[in-house]
């Protein structure tokens, strides 16, 4: 038991959690028994933060147990953690070292306001993630079938493709039922889908992968999806402003929505033409429209308003 230490780092693997708590290093299984043992130890002393790195979903159950126990859990972004480790001169990488670095990161770096955990939103995120994997399976199998020339293999691949399509329909039904079961989720989905280019898939993906929507300012929400421009200047060098990082999945949904707007909305076409007339690439206009769209959607959710067509 560690006394007087308030920062804990947890590195997550599929079958194990490596924990750093002050000078103490220990591991527990990443299962119900291990989570109970971890919780019993962490409850022994006041904690300022329990840092846990996002690890492709392997952290979800431990995260749920810690949050339900009321511990101050902080999910650490993997990229920011790697940059922090490099800045600290740490180049070696092992699970115990990662746990120690997570604890140090939580101690040094200020925490951003976290979105409160919501079981319905968490379930929606899991369903949307599973839906994405099914869509990827369908695309992969379709490409595979196009390359096969043995009838037996083609037949087996087509059956797998049919199964993926069936599972996708079932998943969509579950998602729609979940949205309809909750007044707040239902209203947010209606608001998002009132915007041109935002359909059912775009809306559920934004709700699942961007829970901060409606709870952040315009600059912050744009930065979260990697659409905020950052200057790249030093001395006489001026490379202008560029977008960087952010959440790829919501950004992809916004990109598809803007492509739809450019086909359907005169004001979007006019904006693009005005930008390209200034000698700028078309992609600059597309990114600007994506940024405008996410800022507008954020304001719509925040103020409970449907889309107002600028035309």
218-232: average pLDDT: 81
Q: What is the pLDDT of residue 134?
A: 96
Q: Are residues 289 and 242 in the same domain?
A: yes
Which SS3 state, helix, strand or coil, does residue 65 take?
helix
Q: Is residue 172 part of a domain?
A: yes
Q: What is the pLDDT of residues 79-93, one digit of tens each?
A: 888 888 888 887 767
If you count DSSP H runs as helices and E runs as strands, how many of each does the chain have, helices first? 12, 7
Instruction: Give the domain-ending residue among 56, 80, 108.
Output: 108
Q: Is residue 236 part of a domain?
A: yes
Q: Are residues 224 and 294 in the same domain?
A: yes
> For the CA atoms of 91, 97, 99, 105, what is the dihedral angle to 10 degrees?
-40
169 phi/psi in degrees, rounded to 5: -65, -40
Q: Are residues 132 and 72 in the same domain?
A: no
Q: Quote the domain boundaries for residue 98.
A: 7-108
Asked if residue 234 has pLDDT above 70, the reply is: no
Which SS3 state, helix, strand or coil, does residue 5 take?
coil
CA distance 75 to 106: 10
Asked if residue 77 has pLDDT above 50, the reply is: yes
Instruction: Give the domain-ending residue among 53, 76, 108.
Output: 108
Q: Are residues 103 and 125 in the same domain?
A: no
CA distance 189 to 204: 7
Asked if residue 197 has pLDDT above 70, the reply is: yes
Q: Is residue 18 part of a domain?
A: yes
Q: Are residues 38 and 92 in the same domain?
A: yes
Q: Are residues 103 and 123 in the same domain?
A: no
Domain count, the chain: 3
Q: What is the pLDDT of residue 300?
A: 96
Q: Is residue 209 part of a domain?
A: no
| Encoded tokens for 263 | 């086909």
Whole-Å CA distances, 7 to 2, 19, 106, 120, 296: 11, 11, 7, 29, 38
CA distance 294 to 74: 25
Distance from the first to the final alpha carbon of the chain: 64
Q: Is residue 94 part of a domain?
A: yes
Q: What is the pLDDT of residue 1?
A: 46
Asked if residue 178 has pLDDT above 70, the reply is: yes
Q: What is the pLDDT of residue 75?
A: 87
In CATH, what number is assigned to the domain containing residue 163?
1.20.58
135-154: average pLDDT: 92
Instruction: Give the domain-ending residue among 52, 80, 108.
Output: 108
CA distance 217 to 221: 6
19 phi/psi in degrees, rounded to 5: -120, 135
> For the chain, how long is the longest CA-to-CA vector?
68
CA distance 289 to 153: 45
CA distance 39 to 31: 12
Q: Are residues 103 and 124 in the same domain?
A: no
Q: Are residues 162 and 99 in the same domain?
A: no
CA distance 31 to 37: 10
Q: What is the pLDDT of residues 246-293, one digit of tens each?
A: 889 999 999 999 999 999 999 999 999 999 999 999 999 999 999 999
User: Quick one: DSSP state of residue 77?
Assistant: P
Q: What is the pLDDT of residues 93-141, one digit of tens each?
A: 777 778 889 999 998 887 776 677 788 998 999 999 999 999 999 999 9
Q: Is residue 234 part of a domain?
A: yes
In CATH, what number is assigned to the domain containing residue 97?
3.30.420.10
221-229: average pLDDT: 87
Tokens 């971890």 label which residue?
A: 38
pLDDT cut 90: percent of the chain above it: 59
Q: Are residues 125 and 69 in the same domain?
A: no
What stretch of H or E contains 139? helix 119-147
pLDDT category at 239 given cuts 50, 70, 90 is low
Kindly give, in sequence order, each residue whose CB lies less than 8 Å from that of residue 151, ignoring residues fewer than 6 positions away: none
Q: Are residues 225 and 299 in the same domain?
A: yes
Q: Is residue 187 part of a domain?
A: no
Strand 49-53 with 24-29, pairing: unpaired
Q: Is residue 206 part of a domain?
A: no
> What single string gives the DSSP state of each residue in 170-194?
HHHHHHHHHHHH-HHHHHHHHHHHT
Q: What is the pLDDT of residues 3-53, one digit of tens each?
A: 555 899 999 988 999 999 988 899 999 999 999 999 998 887 888 889 998
Q: Are residues 31 and 59 in the same domain?
A: yes
User: Quick one: DSSP state of residue 242?
Assistant: E
């Amino acid at each position: 038991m560690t006394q007087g230490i308030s920062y804990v780092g947890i590195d997550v693997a599929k079958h194990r959690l490596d924990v750093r708590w002050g000078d103490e290093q220990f591991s527990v299984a990443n299962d119900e028994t291990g989570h109970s043992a971890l919780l019993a130890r962490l409850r022994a002393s006041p904690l300022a933060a329990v840092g846990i790195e996002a690890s492709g979903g392997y952290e979800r159950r431990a995260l749920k147990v810690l949050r339900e126990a009321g511990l101050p859990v902080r999910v650490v972004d993997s990229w920011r953690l790697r940059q922090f480790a490099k800045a600290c001169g740490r180049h070696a990488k092992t699970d115990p070292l990662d746990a120690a670095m997570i604890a140090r990161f939580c101690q040094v770096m200020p925490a951003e306001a976290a979105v409160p955990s919501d079981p319905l939103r968490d379930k929606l995120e899991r369903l949307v993630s599973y839906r994405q994997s099914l869509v990827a399976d369908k695309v992969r199998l379709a490409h595979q079938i196009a390359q096969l020339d043995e009838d037996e293999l083609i037949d087996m691949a087509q059956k797998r493709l049919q199964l993926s399509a069936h599972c996708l329909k079932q998943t969509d039904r579950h998602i729609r039922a979940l949205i309809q079961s909750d007044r707040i989720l239902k209203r947010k989905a209606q608001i998002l889908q009132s915007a041109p280019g935002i359909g059912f898939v775009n809306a559920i993906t934004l709700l699942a992968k961007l829970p901060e929507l409606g709870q952040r300012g315009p600059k912050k929400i744009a930065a979260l999806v990697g659409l905020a421009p950052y200057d790249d200047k030093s001395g006489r060098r001026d490379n202008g402003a560029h977008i960087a990082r952010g959440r790829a999945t919501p950004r992809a949904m916004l990109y598809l929505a803007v492509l739809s707007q450019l086909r359907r909305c005169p004001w979007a076409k006019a904006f693009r033409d005005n930008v390209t007339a200034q000698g700028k690439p078309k992609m600059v206009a597309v990114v600007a429209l994506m940024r405008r769209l996410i800022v507008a959607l954020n304001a719509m959710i925040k103020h409970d308003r449907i889309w107002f067509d600028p035309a």
